[in-house]
Structure formats: C-alpha cells, structure tokens
Structure 1
Amino acid sequence: MNGANQITELLGGPSLEQPLSLEKKPEGSFIDQTIKGLSSNPLFSAGAGLAGIGMAVTLLKRFAVVGSSLLRRRYIVSLQLNNEDPAYSWLLDFVNRHSNRSARMLSGHTSLKIGESGRAAISVASLPGHGNHYFSYKYRWIHCERTREEHTVSIDGRRTPFETVTLTTLGTEPKFLLRMVEDAATEALSKIDTGLVVYKALGPEWRRSGVPRPKRRLDSVVLKEGMTSRIVDDIEEFVASRKWYEERGVPYRRGYLFYGPPGTGKSSFITCLASHLGYSVCIMSLSDRLLDDDRLNLLLNTPPQNSIIILEDIDAAVTNREDPKNSDPIYQGMTRVTMSGLLNAIDGVGCAEERLLFMTTNHVERLDSALIRPGRVDVKEYFGNATQEMMENMFIRFYGDNCSADDAVEFARQAASLEVEISPATLQGHFLLYKKDPRLAISHVADMKQPLLR
C-alpha cells in the first residue's frame, strides 16, 4: 500500500491509509489540485519552460521576418544600375567623392593617349572596388554594393565582365535615388572638356577644322559695361523660346550684326558665346571663289546641330548696291554670290529653323540696307575701341594679383592721354610684351601710339 499511497500523493489525491471523507469537495478542486501538483513537479516545470522558450523564439523569428519584409517594402528604396548604362562610371565616381571617407577598396583604370608626334600622356582614374560601401548624401546614409558576374558584355567595342551597382537607403520616396543619379551625371558632364569645335565650308558640306579648341570664357573679352549681359540674355531667351515662335508662326531664326573697327573683339566674342552655350562654330567666307548662290543656300540651311554660323567681314564680299563707288570694275567679280542669293539664303522660303547667324563687318556703311533690315538682322551691336574703363578692366584681368587698382587707373589715365584710338587687340599685344611686370607696361604706355614702329 505504500507504493499506492506515494502515487496518490503525487497526483494530489488523499492517502489510502486515511479514511475517506464523505464531505463533498468544491467543484473544480480536483483540477486545481492536479495543476498544482504538476507545477510543483521539477521535471514538468523544466520541460514546459523549454517549450515556452522555443515557442517564443519561433514567434520572434516569425515577427522578425514579417517585420523585415514590411520594412523593406514600406521604408527602404533601392536602385540598380549595370555597366552598360552610360551613368554607371559617373555614379561610382560620385560615390567615391561624396562619401565621408573615400572608399578603401578601389579599382583603377589607366588610359594612354599617344599623339601623332609621339608625345604620350597617361591618366589614372579610380572607382570604388567590388563589395560594400557606405556614404551619406543629403543627410541620408546610403549602402552601395558593387558586384561582378561571370559572363561578359560588349562596351565600347571590347568585352568586359558584367557588373551591377545597387544603392539602398531608408525612405519612402523612390525618386530620391533617381535624383542622385541625375546629379552625378550633371556633375560629370559639366567637367567634360569637349573644347570648341570649329567647322569650315568645304564643297557643299561642313567639315570639322582641326581638333577642338580650348573654350573661352565670356569675361575674356572686355566690352563696354552691360554689353555682354545684354547680348547673352538675348541669345539665351531666343534659345529657350522655340515653342513661343512656333505658336505664333514666327520663323525661329535670329540674326546678329557686330560692327566696328578691326581688333575690337567681334569674332572673339562670338567664340566666347559659342563656348558659353555649348555650341560649335561654322565659319564661312563669302569671298570664296568657289562659292555660289546654290552652295551658299545649302550651307546656311544645313549646319551641324547646335551650332552658330559666322559670316566674317561681310562687307568685303557683299557691297551696297546703292553706292556709286561699287560700280567700279575693281569691285566686280570679287565673289560669285549675288545679293539676291544671299538674301534668299538668310530668310528665303526654304530656310531652316532654329538658326543663329552672326555677321561681322568693319564698315557697316558699305552694307546694303536690305541685308541688315529687321528679320534678317535682329540685333546690331557696335564694338568700339577701348574706353578708359575698358582699359582698367583689361589691365586688372591680365595682371590679376600682380597689380593694384591704382596701377590700373594710372595705366588707363596715361593711355587716354595719348589721344589716339586704341583697340583691345593693341592693348593685349602691349600687355604680352610686359606680361610679368605691370609697372613696365605702365612706363612704356606711350609705345602704343605707334605700335607698328616697335
């Protein structure tokens, strides 16, 4: 009976040795006593604890997976580019330069340029290497992962491994990363030095003349106060007004006439305008003996895209029909281009749209009034010889920190006292003679009175 009593005690029941009581127990007391007995059992408590921990861990994992999935769907944005995209290298360079700390894992690329003369130049560029990188942009942390695949693709005519870069950041706006790629592309393109491309007429087409030339800044040509901004504003307004012209049925063309003495910067300023706008330059001489009306019409209306057409020294080829002097035989046969052919090429029925035409002349009085009427020439600007203010500005711009404002005033005062017309070209030639010593330029200012006798 002792064994039975022990089992009964474990189950929480009365001992068999104790007399059975006929008193009715409260309902549920057996269940309560059973639970109490199980809870007091160390083996059961340990198993239940382990099971509870396991269930809790499982639930936590499940919540973590669901929460992570929800977080990635709602609050994480990603953008992926591959190396077939033009912006791929721009973006990697952007990441490398805008990170708080430059990437420690780099991939290098060396380019070798050998000129026809045999002169070689080497440039080395570095990009973030393959792996994970972190950087901040506009107060957001961004994770950048660069990976490489086994298969290859053709880029610029050569086989290269296929690569991808993935950008990830917290946020709810997918366009944030797209704007960052646009900023990277804009920043890269702004640093590309394409140079100024010059075209010249060869036969019935435009041909590139030599290699691209260095671009010139607008302030490299000193003009009268307000003149530069006035011309630039007019051109920029025209370039941005294509829709306005189309809606009103006005031909989308703009003509400019720059006139004045030689050496006043007419052609130089046009090249500065082309550099500022990112346009190429098409130069044509009407005194070309092979040029006739048909070829002129074709060239004026088939320029390269985004280009400026320049008709230099137009007075040397096209004269005023009303001037009796031009009936002299010496002026005949200078060109095969007729006045009517030129006028039709400028604004005839078959003229092309979106054209910027510049004409330069040293003698505006020799030009036919029909050539420079509104519609053919919309803007006329006079380029005169250097004023005292222009002399001061050119002196300061040329010598920079090597001179003072008082030096510039003194030079301009002495130059003005010569009482001769001095062109900007003459001033620049004088400065080049004394490019390292502004005081010598001042002391020899009288030499500009007879520059041809030096």
Structure 2
Amino acid sequence: MGLGVGLTVLRQGLVFGTIALRRRMLVSLEINNKDRAYDWFLAWMSHQNQLAQQNSRVPWTRSHQLSVETTVEQRKNGSSSALFKLVAGPGTHYFKYCGAWMQVKRERETRSMQLMSGVPWETVTLTALSRDRSLFPQLLTEARDLAMRGHEGKLVIHTAWGIEWKPFGLPRRKRPLHSVVLEPGVSKKIESDIVAFLERRQWYADRGIPYRRGYLVYGPPGSGKTSFIQALAGSLSYDICLLNLSERGLTDDRLFHLLSNAPEQSIVLIEDIDAAFNKRVQTSEDGYQSSITFSGFLNALDGVASGEERIIFMTTNHLEKLDPALIRPGRVDLAQLIDDASPEQAQMLFNQFYGGSLNVTGLSDDEVQTMALRLHDIVSEEMRAGRRVSMAALQGHFIRHEAKDAVTSCRDLFSHKPVL
C-alpha cells in the first residue's frame, strides 16, 4: 500500500511538475478563423512549403495532414477556372523559424458551426519556447506582408459569404481608367464627384448628413458600365464588394448587416438592379423568390438603421423599369447614361488600339489618324440611319482585325437600336 501511494504521489508530482514546467518554459499563441491573421498564417505556411520544395528540403517535420483550399471563378460566358492551394490540415505540425522550433496545432470543432456561414470553428495554436515569444509578432507581420504583397497594384473582389465579405478568386490587375473609353466628360464627371465626396467627410458630419453616396450607371449592354466601375475602383485604390440580390437565403437582416459592414475603402456594386426588383418582386430564372423585400432594400440604402461611410454603384440596362422610389435623390445621388459607341468614342478606341506607342501596323501615324477619322464618319452615318453599335462589339472587332480591315468591315456590326 505504501509503495502504491508513493507511486501515485510521484505520478501526480510529475504531472504537476510537467504542467508547471510547460507554463514557465513554453508560450502559446491562439488564432481562430474569425481573425484575418488565420488565413494569412495558413497562406504563409503554404508559401514556406512551396519554397522548401523548390530548395529540395522538407518544410514540416512529422506532418502528414494537409488540406486543400479550392477557389472556383465562374464567368458570365459559362467558362470557369479552379485554383488549388495546399495548407496545413487539422493536426500537429512542426517548423523552424529564425532558428527556433515551433509547434503548430490546427483544431477543428465539428460539433458546432458558425451560425450564419455554416463554417466549422477552427483554431491554430502556435507553441514555442518562452524565450522566443518575440518571434510571434515578427512571424505574423511577415504573413501579413506576404498576403498584402499579392494585393499591391491589384483589385480585390469581395463576395458575400453568410454575413461576411470574403475575397473572391485571386486579386486582379488594375485596369487604367483611361483604357475605358466613354463619351468625353463622362468619366471625369463621375470621378470628380466621388473624389469630392471622399474629401468632404467632415463637411457631412458638420451638417448632420449621412456620409454615403449612391450612383446609378445605366445604358445598353456592352457599353462599358461594369468595366468603368472596376477601373474607377482601381484608380482610387478601392476594392469592390459584389452583391447579388438574387442569392438564395439573403434576407433583409442579412442585407442590412452586409451593407453596414462593407470593408473599408470599398465600393459596393449591385449589377442589373432592374432584374432584382422588377415590379417590386424578386424572382430568379428557376422561379425561386428571395426573402428580400423591396422596402427592406430601400431601408438598407438610406433607412434609419442603414450604415454610413459607404459608396454604392448600381447598374441597369433598362432605366424605365426601375421604381421611382429606388432612384430618388438620397438613394441615387448621381445617375449617368453610358450609351452605345458615339463617333468620338469609336475614334478614340481605334487610336487606342492602333495608334501611338502601340502602333505595330506598319502604318504611319498620319495614316492611322486618317483611318480613325474615316471610322468616325462611318459611325456618324450609321447613327443618322438609326443603327448603333456597342463599345464591346467594336473592341472585339478591333481585336480580330488589322487596322485597314477593321475600318472597311465595321458596317456589319451595326444594328437598329432604340435611342435611350
């Protein structure tokens, strides 16, 4: 009995001693998947894995658990692309950072899910010697810089995921604003308005005016509405939050939350607003009716509980289908028509494709200018006859043809369209 009691006491002493030793000698850092550093750290580990493979060395020791993160981008023309990224899976991993060994334990709670997104709760716990605790901020800074480096000079598209905004696909290269050819003065008008709005935050606060701005860009398909908004966001170093009002499960409360918690320095883009609320009913192609109400959407735009510090762009191909309550001042502060190609636009687009430093046609600049003027006259003649062409059609035509053929064959692009 004495020997048994002694062994029990010794075992308990070893347990408590081990715990005390761990508390004194080890330090742990916990990161949950609600924190942005969670994705940054996993991406950093994946990057270290790739570097290790390139240098023919083992990145993690005693690690046999990996997870795959798949990003699928679905395009409007039906095509899609998928990107795969291998990250550390649930389990225990070890790696060496700045000469110090660290343990990484990724745990997933499968018995409970996040309420709105349905994503399991996860945590990553980093453990190192107490003397190496100063390496944690350094490692997280490096992970953050790595994540931000991929966004430099890029446009990030966010989509709604539950009640949160998450990046969709890889960051996209910013498009120069001058590359979107609009009617002279249109681009400058919208850009000047939004810049003036961003510079007058205190002006709004002093007068008790909600600090938000709404824009409506309307016109026929292919006129460059979405391209212009993307280029404008890039020129302002803003992101785009793409909001689909026809998404299943989107409710008034969730819409309020999304609009009130859009990421900083971002533009909320709602495309084809006429299709979302045609006659105040939201119905998708398969007959599904969303739980968003028209009044709920209006209140989310400028109601008592609506958020501030927000910029919203809406697009439509059919201005006449919009309810007057939606486009009244206060909800839409600036409405701008972006129409089919005008003679001036066609001429500028032709010069942009074939003239200046991009002139690889073998023609002189004078010859290119002469053909651009000829295209200007053709577009003028067709417009007087009631025929019009979209900028998207002209751009595709220029991509397929050389300069001379583009001018001689462009009349086939025109069709009869009503003037907006």
* Superposed pair shares fold, TM > 0.5: yes
* Deviation string, structure 1 residues 33-73 (Cα, Å, up to 9, x no partner): xxxxxxxxxxxxxxxxxxxxxxxxxxxxxxxxxxxxxxxxx
Is the Cα–Cα contact under 8 Å of residues 283 and 289 in structure 2 kept in the other structure? no
Alpha carbons 1:317, 1:334 under 8 Å: kept = no
Matched, 1:278 2:278: no
Change (3 A) 1:256 1:426: same
How many residue pairs are counted as aligned between the two chains? Answer: 274
Q: Name 1:414's counterpart in structure 2.
A: 378
Query: Residues 329, 238 of structure 1: CA spacing in aligned structure 2 closer, same or farther, 3 A cutoff?
Result: closer
Is 2:400 the partner of 1:433? yes
Write the distance in 1 (CA, Å) between the matches of 2:295 and 2:381.
47
Counterpart residue identity of residue 201, structure 1: A
AA partner of residue 411 (structure 1) = L
Q: Which amino acid aligns with 2:139?
A: G
Kept in 1, the 8 Å contact 2:276–2:283? The answer is no
Q: Which amino acid aligns with 2:403?
A: P
Matches within 5 A, 1:391-402: 391-401=346-356, 402=359
Q: How does 1:81-96 map to 2 (within 5 A)?
A: none
Q: 1:410 to 1:367 in 2, by over 3 A?
A: same
Whether 1:355 and 2:310 are equivalent positions in the alignment is yes
1:442 aligns with 2:407: yes
Is the CA contact 1:288–1:335 (under 8 Å) kept in the aligned structure 2?
yes
Aligned to 1:346, the other structure's residue is in SS state: helix
- Which structure 1 residue ranges, 5 or more long, are not aligned? 1-110, 119-152, 161-188
Q: CA deviation at 1:450?
A: 6.7
1:281 counterpart SS class: strand
Q: Which residue, out of 373, 380, 385, partners 2:328?
A: 373
Counterpart of 1:91? none
Q: Secondary structure at the match of 2:313?
A: strand
Separation in structure 1 between the aligned mates of residue 214 and residue 342 of structure 2, nearest angstrom: 27
**CA 1:443 to 1:336, structure 2 compared with 1: closer, same or farther past 3 Å?**
same
Structure 1 counterpart SS, 2:315: strand
Amino acid at match of 2:318: H
The one-letter amino acid paired with 2:388 is E
More contact order relative to length (CA 8 Å, sep ≥ 6): 2
Counterpart contact for 1:317–1:335, Cα < 8 Å: no
Counterpart residue identity of residue 199, structure 2: A
1:241 alignment partner in structure 2? 200
The change in CA–CA distance for 1:410 and 1:330 in structure 2 (over 3 A counts) is: closer
Q: Which of residues 341, 357, 369 in structure 2 aligns to 1:405? A: 369
Deviation at 1:306, TM superposition (A): 0.7
Cα separation, partners in 2 of 1:333 and 1:272, compared to 1, 3 Å:
same
**Counterparts of 2:307 and 2:155, CA distance in 1:** 23
Task: Say whether 1:301 aligns with 2:256.
Answer: no
Instruction: Write the distance in 2 (CA, Å) between the matches of 1:328 and 1:240.
Output: 39
Assess, with a 3 A threshold, how the Cα gap between structure 1 residues 447 and 239 changes in structure 2: closer, same or farther: same
Structure with the greater alpha carbon radius of gyration = 1
Q: Do the aligned partners of 1:194 and 1:212 also contact (CA within 8 Å) in 2?
A: no
Partner of 2:175: 216
Report how far residue 295 of structure 1 moved.
Answer: 1.3
CA RMSD, 1 decimal: 3.5
**Distance in 2 between residues matched to 1:373 and 1:382, nearest whole Å:** 16
**Which amino acid is 1:227 matched to?**
V
Map residues 138-287 of structure 1 onto 2, 5 A cutoff: 154=135, 156-157=138-139, 193-287=152-246
Q: 1:229 to 1:112 in 2, by over 3 A?
A: farther
Distance 1:396 1:309, change over 3 A: same
Q: CA deviation at 1:214?
A: 0.4
SS across alignment from 2:172: coil
Unaligned runs of 5+ in 2: 1-49, 55-82, 87-133, 143-147, 360-364
For 2:215 and 2:267, the matched residues in 1 are separated by: 11
Alpha-carbon distance in structure 2 between the residues aligned to 1:355 and 1:329:
27
Instruction: Provide the residue aligned with 2:270 in structure 1.
Output: 311
Shift of the alpha carbon at 1:417? 3.2
